[in-house]
Amino acid sequence: MLNERMKVIDSSGIRKVFDLAAKISDPINLSIGQPDFDVPHEIKESAITAIRDGKNRYTLTQGTTELREALMEYIETQKKVSCKIDQIIVTSGVSGGLVLAFLAMFGADDEVIIPDPYFVMYKHLLRLFGATPVYADTYPEFKLSAEKIERLITPRTKAIIAASPANPTGAVLDEKEWREVVEVAQKHDLLIISDEIYDNFVYGLQPFSPGSIYENVLTMGGFSKSHAMTGWRLGYAVGPEEIVKAMITVQQYSFVCAPSMVQSAGLTALKLPMDEKRELYRRKRDRLINALSNKYRIEGAGGAFYLFIESPKGTGTEFCTRAISEKKLLLIPGNVFSERDTHFRLSYAADDSMLERGIKALLELAS
């Protein structure tokens, strides 16, 4: 009874580990990319107040005017991206925004360049909607470069997707690197989809948005990682008005709108500084790198809250299997995010005691 398109995707490898975690007693869970801190109190109270005040109905499909106006100011101030309110759509998370954008833009004749390693959704959504993902191999440093992109461009190429910081590698593109990518996109008149969901977690550099220097950029952002609102499903996209208008049309027939009370809470979230959490995760990253770098090869790690680590023995899948069976340590095999199976992803969005157990287990596995 299923459509043929279901044969091109399978269940997320991340979710498989997530399900496994529920079955293991006292696991060392360094697998899921979800902040270990709770949603700030002020945001919770905003949502509760909104519910009590009756903000429980549909909003405008594109999002409330109040939130889009606040997002417009935030985007122009923080990302240096000039925009009008009609260029902004509020989405059900960045994942929801990707669904809308891909449905609106990509089909059977289209190729889309994505970095390898990649966020799992890029590959599978493109294939689900009939488009072809074209992989820019970024090993071993995990940097998407203009040179790697240019040699993959064909007459069918329609867009480039990049995330900085990236999941699963934590790699960050600096301003110079972004400018070189933008130059190639301009030369070939390509759209850039810039996934900036981890922009609050950049260590040692200033975050840079390509939308600040190139009009043909669809910038994706949200609150799931920065404010721990993973279950609240609130994101946004800003970009060319034609694309955003098409996304609004698709949203009318799919998500309808982002949750109304969560949109109200988003107004509070935009005003709430989260610098303390960035510093917290920087310290966690440094602790892991200092403890593991003598035994493991670690590249990237300039942002987000992941380490993409080369397996010291066997494939990434084999290493993760050993980690589970011998140490009850939950990691994600690298082939979930890549056409290779040489690495594994570790999430350091965990409390310090869990990280300490993880470090001990990893050192023992490498010995």
List, as one string, the DSSP characters of 326-361: HH-EE-EEGGGSSS--SEEEEE--S-HHHHHHHHHH
pLDDT average, residue stretch 257-285: 97
Q: For position 17, what pLDDT does the model report?
A: 65
Res. 207: pLDDT tops 60: yes
Report yes or no on 313 lying in a domain: yes
Asked if 306 and 194 sit in the same domain, the reply is: no
Asked which of 271, 302, 333 is the last residue of a domain, the reply is 271
Burial class from Cβ neighbours inside 10 Å (0-12, 13-18, 19+) for residue 131 reads buried
Q: Give one word for 104, left, alpha or beta, with left for phi > 0 and alpha for psi -120 to 50.
A: alpha
pLDDT average, residue stretch 256-283: 97
Q: For position 1, what pLDDT does the model report?
A: 83
Q: Could you tell me the strand order of the sheet in which 217-222 lies?
A: 88-91, 235-238, 217-222, 191-195, 157-163, 111-116, 132-137
pLDDT average, residue stretch 98-106: 98
Q: Could you tell me the strand order of the sheet in which 332-333 lies?
A: 298-299, 306-310, 343-347, 332-333
For residue 13, give the CATH number of its domain: 3.90.1150.10
Q: For position 58, what pLDDT does the model report?
A: 98
Report yes or no on 44 lying in a domain: no
pLDDT band at 8 (very low <50, low <70, confident <90, very high): confident
Asked if 143 and 281 sit in the same domain, the reply is: no
pLDDT band at 124 (very low <50, low <70, confident <90, very high): very high
Asked which of 240, 271, 302 is the last residue of a domain, the reply is 271
Report yes or no on 121 lying in a domain: yes
Res. 278: pLDDT tops 60: yes
Q: For position 24, what pLDDT does the model report?
A: 81
pLDDT average, residue stretch 203-216: 96
Q: For position 14, what pLDDT does the model report?
A: 61
Asked if 35 and 151 sit in the same domain, the reply is: no
pLDDT average, residue stretch 180-190: 98
Please tell me the distance from the alpha carbon of residue 117 to that of residue 52, in angstroms, as a whole number.
44
Q: For position 13, what pLDDT does the model report?
A: 57
Report yes or no on 342 lying in a domain: yes
Q: For position 10, what pLDDT does the model report?
A: 73
Q: 3-state DSSP call for residue 161?
A: strand
Asked if 96 and 123 sit in the same domain, the reply is: yes
The residue ranking higher by pLDDT, 61 or 3, is: 61
Distances (CA, A) of 22 to 88, 104, 343: 38, 37, 24
Res. 117: pLDDT tops 60: yes
For residue 81, give the CATH number of its domain: 3.40.640.10
Instruction: Give the total number of structural domains in the chain.
Output: 2
Asked which of 271, 291, 314 is the last residue of a domain, the reply is 271
For 175, the domain range is 55-271
Q: Write down the pTM of the prediction.
A: 0.95
Length of the chain: 367
Q: What is the pLDDT of residues 125-153, one digit of tens each?
A: 999 999 999 999 999 999 999 999 999 99
Asked if 262 and 359 sit in the same domain, the reply is: no
Res. 20: pLDDT tops 70: no
The DSSP output letter for 150 is H
pLDDT average, residue stretch 83-92: 98
pLDDT average, residue stretch 150-157: 98
Report yes or no on 48 lying in a domain: no
pLDDT average, residue stretch 47-71: 98
pLDDT average, residue stretch 227-255: 98
Asked if 260 and 282 sit in the same domain, the reply is: no
pLDDT average, residue stretch 30-44: 95
Q: 3-state DSSP call for residue 270?
A: helix
Asked if 138 and 250 sit in the same domain, the reply is: yes
pLDDT average, residue stretch 218-242: 98
Report yes or no on 50 lying in a domain: no
Please tell me the distance from the alpha carbon of residue 285 to that of residue 198, in angstroms, as a whole number.
15
Q: For position 96, what pLDDT does the model report?
A: 98
Q: Are 292 and 314 in contact (CB under 8 A)?
A: no
Distances (CA, A) of 47 to 237, 258, 259, 261, 299: 22, 13, 10, 5, 39
Asked if 232 and 327 sit in the same domain, the reply is: no
Res. 56: pLDDT tops 90: yes
